[in-house]
Structure 1
Amino acid sequence: MESAADQDNRHVLHPWADLSALGTHKPLVVREAKGVHVVDDRGRTYLDAIGGMWCVTVGYGREELVEAMRTQALKMPYYTPFGDVSSEPAAELGARLADLSPGDLNRVHFTTCGSTAVESAVRIAHFFYAAQGRPQKKHVLSRVDAYHGSTYLAASLSGKAADRTTFHYEDAWVHHLESPVYDPDVADESASRRLAGIIGRMEEAVAAIGAENIACFIAEPVMASGGVLVPPPGYHRAALEVCRRNDILYISDEVVCGFGRLGHFFSSADRFGIVPDIIVTAKGLTSGYQPLGAVLVAEGIVDTMAAAADRSKPVFSNGFTYSGHPVACAAALANIRVMVQDDICGHVREVGPRFIDRLRGLRAHPLVSAVRGDHLMACVECRVPGEADGPTARNQALAQRVDHYCEEGGLLVRPFENLCILSPPLVISAEEIDRIAAVTADALDRAERDLRAAGTG
């Protein structure tokens, strides 16, 4: 009988697959999971230091979520969400998200994932201005190094150079401002000077494009897939002020940073002191147990859309077959109950500093050029001694070697370019955090010995 790995090689086209190795690279086949660990088809156990893909908040195997999904599937697995049709789980989840969100973000538009939520958020901004007779106000400001998804518009908003391949992207009205990263360990200027420069150049871009043409600005509180890039203090407040002065909607992409990753259900207000016009969430919304995304919109925006909509074209023609899927919403509600019951956000605030502190201890390693992070999201940047910083071929090969040794040590990290990205389940313990740091340190030591043996270290 053909193994799962062989079947996968023959038939599955993976997201972000290396097509030069199509059909030749045997995948890691994950068979089961519990808590913060996963088990492959050979019976090997790994500490999952990437939380699936930033998703897992309450850990694997939570019976409360599984039972909620089962109960809803037996009661009513699916019905259309279009028009005036709803379900009890979708209605209840909408109300719960409104309770958890900051300000007056009380309207919820359900989607299927983060990409479709981002796409929907921008379309809401477009509808908002077009309904008021300003259809030219459609340009979108994003940032270099941002990641917002892989649907057409979401991919166009993304600013990671490595993700731009031979697909087509929207370039006429999508603009990428500079990456706002500020790392005090390696910076050659103060945080205040860096902030002033970033915001000054943002204002210049707004003036050049014309505020009358710009619908929205979209920003991750911390740029996740771009390399866990943390902005200088005060950045989001200053960017929001620019948006307010120029009648530009502020979209906070909390697909990764929301639902506890930074110690709060939503980090925009509690962590960064802003109330945006729109918040996008997904991933941790269901702890990865079901695919679901949501767009939280300020009540005034939706009221304006309704009041100003062209009476001949009043329909908000955006949504998906599985928007507000009852089983997915039941999973999200159970996930929220568990997070509140177990005080997951409080736990993250308690262990998050330890996680960052233990990883920052790796900065002294000769193969590490930087360590960045915030609570339970972090990045270890690898560099061959004497090599320039960044994703050079040698640095990327080094990071892949470190990733391989981490896997041999029973630890799964996410390799990207010359980075090792970590985002463990939010139920991670202090002892498991120490293990992540120890295995990563050992992997770096093994990679260093390889370089010395090859005469390149």
Structure 2
Amino acid sequence: MAAMREAKPVESRDPEDAVDLATRHLVQPWPYAGSVGAEARALIGEGDGIYITDGSGKKLIDGPAGMWCINIGHRREELARVMYQQALQLSYNTPWYTMNAPSAELARRIAGHAPGDLSHVFYTTGGSTAVETALRFMQFYNNVRGRPEKKLILSRGGAYHGSTYLSASLNGRPRDRDWMDGADDLVVKLTAPNPFHRPQGVTKEGFADFLVGEFRHTIERIGADRIGAFVGEPIQASGGVIVPPDGYLRRIREICRANDILYVSDEVVTAFGRLGSVFASGEVFGLDPDMITFAKGVTSGYFPLGGVVISERLLEDLRRSNHPDALFGHGLTYTSHPIGCAVALKNLDILETELLAHTQQVAPYFQAQLKTLEALPLVGEVRGMGLMACVECVADRESNDPLELDKDVGKRIDQHCHDLGLLVRPLINMCVMSPPLTITRDQIDDMVSILREGISRTMDDLRREGVWNG
């Protein structure tokens, strides 16, 4: 293989041209009807390490790591070289009747990190299609086993599982579904496992007991013979980095096992280093799910790839069935894409040799420094785990009520932070951070310092406008 030619910068374009073209031709994701197809968003020109540069040339800390995904940081030449070399060797093969070596090797490596008997991998194009695949596999599994009625899916408030039709039907954030249809007849929603918004006077232990009791009673009410799967994120990421009560997930897993309900652990965000492990289900939460979905950090966002790790037990049940000719009629054009799998292999090398240990070392400092922001009167709670965290702003600390606040308080903080050199992810009254795993203690100090000033400036704005008097 010839050596990769010296990298040259992509041809520079006038930022104003990009803004004009986007306004005239580009439909952005998650648009509002009043501006759909006629908006331009903040332009990002380049990235390097934990930093990005916007269209005006301003350097910013990439607080969300893209979208929870740039785990090894921007501009890692090792991944660019692998992408180039694999494209020259084999750019694509149809997965319908051929295969490639990187996908098989990556499946072996992923299975080696998965808990329990999760030993096989089905590849997808991202997180939404990974969750969709897990659910369709559950349906197929129960059809083959002669249980066509066992198809209902248990999900929770605060959940985010994707944007494809079935995966989006699981989402538990109201604004995700206000104007969108879904498979509501297939999904049963449970209470969000959010200790910060538990009823007043209820302990965290009592709240966990309530959640488990609700889960058990729901199964009794509906019937275990009608419920096919429970899908849950170990930490609800887009719901505001909701860390569940201790032991709650293990108790849910035990109930699922006792009722022959498949437990699908959605690790699209938490896998591949975000919590210091390749998979958090086993090492962090003590779970052995029936399936784990993954995406984002598997390639650190350098190439679209996702997948589902599936229990050997489930596959053996299918192989032993009386329907050996039953077809799992599901697949994607880019399933097992050779470039994506080659990039993921190199990405996993970097995580294993460098960044898992680094994350475990800096994560306590990251969480402790962010926790100091609770001294600000606007901040109700700072919560998180590993290198993911959320700052939730409230109208007052007695009720923890966010509803009386300006609904754009997160965007206000983000704008101030952008001016100061930090990009955060605003979620109504919350700000989420999940920086690249390469972040150092000094860079954490910079991030927290900017965030503190951004929140302080927002408090001044709210007081001046009479929106908040804290």
Give the TM-score band, short-chain normalised.
over 0.9
The alignment status of 1:433 with 2:447, answered yes or no, reads: no
Change (3 A) 1:386 1:294: closer
After TM superposition, give the deviation of residue 395 of structure 1 in Å: 3.2
Distance 2:92 2:261 in 1: 37
The answer to whether the 8 A contact 1:113-1:293 is kept is: yes
Distance in 1, matches of 2:322 and 2:183, equals 26
> 1:429, 1:206 → 2: CA distance?
46
Deviation string 1:204-225 (CA, Å, 9 cap, x unpaired) is 0011110011111111000000
Aligned twin of 1:7: 21
Q: Kindly tell me: are residues 187 and 63 of structure 1, through their superposed partners in 2, closer, same or farther at Cα, counting changes over 3 Å? A: farther
Cα distance in 1 for partners of 2:186, 2:199 equals 34
Q: Are the structure 2 counterparts of residues 447 and 283 from structure 1 closer, same or farther at C-alpha, using a change threshold of 3 Å? A: same
1:339 matched to 2:358? The reply is no
Alignment of 1:98-247 (within 5 A): 98-183=111-196, 188-247=201-260
Instruction: Give yes or no for contact 2:232–2:266 (8 Å, CA) kept in 1.
Output: yes
Note if 1:302 corresponds to 2:315.
yes
Shift of 1:107: 0.8
Residue 284 of structure 2 is aligned to residue 271 of structure 1: yes
Correspondent of 1:329 among 329, 338, 341: 341
Give the superposition deviation at 1:399: 2.0
- Tell me, what secondary structure is at the counterpart of 2:336? coil
Provide the residue aligned with 1:406 in structure 2.
Answer: 417
Q: Distance in 1 between matches of 2:369 and 2:349?
A: 30
Separation (CA, whole Å) in 1 of partners of 2:443 and 2:33: 35
The CA distance in 2 between the partners of 1:122 and 1:309, in whole Å, is: 22
- Would the aligned equivalents of 1:406 and 1:440 in 2 still touch at CA under 8 Å? yes
Deviation of 1:302 (Å): 1.1
Residues 114 and 255, structure 1, Cα contact 8 Å, conserved in 2: yes
Q: Which amino acid aligns with 2:54?
A: D
Structure 1: how far apart are the matches of 2:370 and 2:197? 16
Query: Residue 448 of structure 1 corresponds to which residue in structure 2?
Result: 459
The answer as to whether partners of 1:127 and 1:305 remain within 8 angstroms in 2 is no
Q: Does the residue aligned with 2:406 lie in a helix, a strand or coil?
A: helix
Q: Residue 363 of structure 1 is aligned with which of 374, 381, 385? A: 374
| Identical columns (%) | 42
Q: 1:144 to 1:434 in 2, by over 3 A?
A: same
For the Cα contact (< 8 Å) 1:397–1:418, is it kept in 2? Answer: yes
- Stretch deviating more after TM superposition (85-94 or 185-194): 185-194
RMSD between aligned residues: 1.8
Q: 1:287 aligns with which of 286, 300, 304?
A: 300
Preserved contact between residue 184 and residue 191 of structure 1 (Cα < 8 Å): no
C-alpha distance in structure 1 between counterparts of 2:423 and 2:322, whole Å: 49
Aligned residue number for residue 329 of structure 2: 317
Tell me if 1:40 matches 2:51.
Answer: no
Q: Secondary structure at the match of 1:261?
A: coil
Work out which of the residue numbers 358, 369, 375 in structure 1 matches 2:386: 375
Give yes or no for contact 1:183–1:230 (8 Å, CA) kept in 2: no
Which residue of 78, 85, 105 corresponds with 2:92?
78
Among candidates 28, 32, 54, match of residue 68 of structure 2: 54
Distance change (3 Å), C-alpha of 1:424 and 1:386:
closer
Q: What whole-Å deviation, never above 9, does each CA across 1:266-299 have from its counterpart, x for those lacking one?
A: 0011000111110000000000000000100011
Secondary structure at the aligned position of 1:217 is classed as strand
Contact kept, 8 Å, 2:389 with 2:432, in 1: the verdict is yes
Q: Which amino acid aligns with 1:365?
A: L
In structure 1, how many angstroms separate the alpha carbons of the residues matched to 2:415 and 2:159?
Answer: 26
Contact kept in structure 2, 1:181 and 1:231, CA below 8 Å: yes
Q: Which residue of 1 aligns with 2:5?
A: none
2:198/2:207 contact within 8 Å kept: no
Post-superposition offset of 1:177 = 0.9
Aligned length: 454
CA distance in 2, matches of 1:278, 1:356: 29
Q: Does the 8 Å contact 1:65/1:334 carry over to 2?
A: yes
Please state if 1:424 is matched with 2:435: yes
Report the more deviating stretch, 443-452 or 201-210.
443-452
- CA displacement at 1:455 relative to structure 2: 3.9
Higher mean Cα deviation, 247-256 or 9-18? 9-18
TM-score normalised to structure 2 length: 0.93
Greater alpha carbon shift after TM alignment, 148-157 vs 39-48: 39-48
Question: What SS does structure 2 have at the residue aligned with 1:218?
Answer: strand
Distance change >3 Å, CA 199–CA 186, structure 1 → 2: closer
Deviation at 1:384, TM superposition (A): 4.1
- The alpha-carbon deviation at position 65 of structure 1 amounts to 0.7
SS at match of 1:395: coil
2:372 alignment partner AA: G
Q: Structure 1, residues 290-342: CA drift from partner, whole Å, max 9, x if none? A: 0000100011101212332624x422111100001000001100100111121
Deviations 1:215-269 (A, max 9, x none): 1111100000001111100011100011011010100000001111111110011
Taking the aligned partners of 2:292 and 2:383, their CA distance within structure 1 comes to 24
Deviations 1:149-173 (A, max 9, x none): 0000000011111111322111112
Q: Equivalent of 1:394, from 396, 405, 420?
A: 405
Q: 2:34 aligns with which of 2, 8, 20?
A: 20
Report the residue type matching 1:102 in the other structure.
P
Which residue identity does 1:46 align to in structure 2? L
> CA 1:386 to 1:195, structure 2 compared with 1: closer, same or farther past 3 Å?
closer
TM-score by length of 1: 0.96
Task: Point out the more displaced range, 396-405 or 49-58.
Answer: 396-405
Unaligned runs of 5+ in 2: 1-13
1:385 Cα deviation (Å)?
A: 5.3
Query: d(CA) in 2 for partners of 1:452 and 1:293?
Result: 45
Contact kept in structure 2, 1:406 and 1:439, CA below 8 Å: yes
Which deviates more from structure 2 when the two are superposed, residues 355-364 or residues 11-20?
Answer: 11-20
Moved more, 386-395 or 397-406: 386-395
Q: 1:129: how far off? A: 1.4
Q: C-alpha offsets along residues 4-23 of structure 1, whole Å, 9 cap, x if unaligned?
A: 11111111111112332346
Q: Secondary structure at the match of 1:172?
A: helix
Q: CA deviation at 1:191?
A: 2.3
